[in-house]
Amino acid sequence: MNPRRIQQTICSVRRIQVNQSPALCMEVDRTPMRVFLGSGGIATEDRRKLYRNLVSEHFSGCSEVLFVPYASHDYSVYTSRMQDFLGEIGLTLVGLHESPDPIEAISHANAIYVGGGNSFLLAKELHERALITPIRDRVLSGPPYLGVSAGANVACPTMMTTNDMPVVHPPSLDSLGIVPFQINPHYHPGKIRFMADGEIVEHYGESRAKRISEFHRVHDTPVLGMWEGSFVSWDGLSGTLIGRATVFCKDEEPVELTHGAKFDESLQT
Ligand code: ASP
């Protein structure tokens, strides 16, 4: 075991002792987790096809998926839109908002899918409906979790690396913690150029890297900047990237990851 891994294991055991970061419990409890996170960005037919294939593989053997639509403003419309989108691969989505007893529904779910939208809306509902612990416990016990965009943000220890505006005030920024790193979805390296009055002009505003560096002024957790259309699978100990991503570790230069890269809980390959 290399020194970094030994240190991680020590930290993990310590976290278990003080009941923190459940994702790291996988160091001693080897039940493999099946977490699959997407950045979103499925604007092209090719990307939609890839998305359906990957989701179908991730949820293979589960015909019914508990869908969490709280990142949206209209739960029924969003659920039926996603049902239309994923119905063709044989999945039935059951909207959590329709359940008379959401905690009970989560405890029996064979698969959980948390959709995208606004991460603050999502986090507020998850906290106020007391769903954070039930979802975390269920995912730690083995059923597959899919989180896209806001659903990927809340899979992290906190939702602090979202791009969203705080349109509502969640009671806490802590999230599910089913992966031990942070995600910034829809990441791009900048510079942005756009058309104005028929000319290409440069947008000189803050880059994502700058915002992530602000996070790292206060926190140590590594951040994965997931490019549009990328996905990450996480089994509790290691992750695999589909597509492209950039790793940000505190006080270090960003590192580009390419398709197929494998990484540990510190986002080290
Ligand atoms: N608004 C994004 C989403 O599609 C989340 C984000 O950009 O942080 O869910």
Q: Give, in degrees to the nearest 5, the angle at Cα 178 between 155 and 243.
A: 60
What number is the average pLDDT over the span 30-36?
Answer: 90
At 5, the pLDDT band (50, 70, 90 cuts) reads very low
119 lines ligand 1 (CB under 6 A): yes
Can you list the domains of the chain with their CATH numbers? 26-263 (3.40.50.880)
In angstroms, the CA 185 to CA 156 distance is: 11
**Active-site hit among 12, 72, 149, 230:** 149
Side chain identity at residue 264, one-letter code: D
In the prediction, which pLDDT does 216 show?
98
Tokens 């705080």 found at: 166
* Ligand 1 pocket residue status of 40, Cβ below 6 Å: yes
Return the closest-CA partner of residue 121 out of 178, 73, 50: 73
- Whether ligand 1 lies within 6 angstroms of the CB of 117 is answered as yes
Question: pTM for the complete prediction?
Answer: 0.89
Q: How far apart are CA 25 and CA 11, in angstroms?
A: 10
Paired strand residues for 240: 233, 262
CA of 263 to the centre of ligand 1 (A): 23
Give mean pLDDT, residues 84-107.
96
- 84 φ/ψ angles, rounded to the nearest 5 degrees: -60, -40
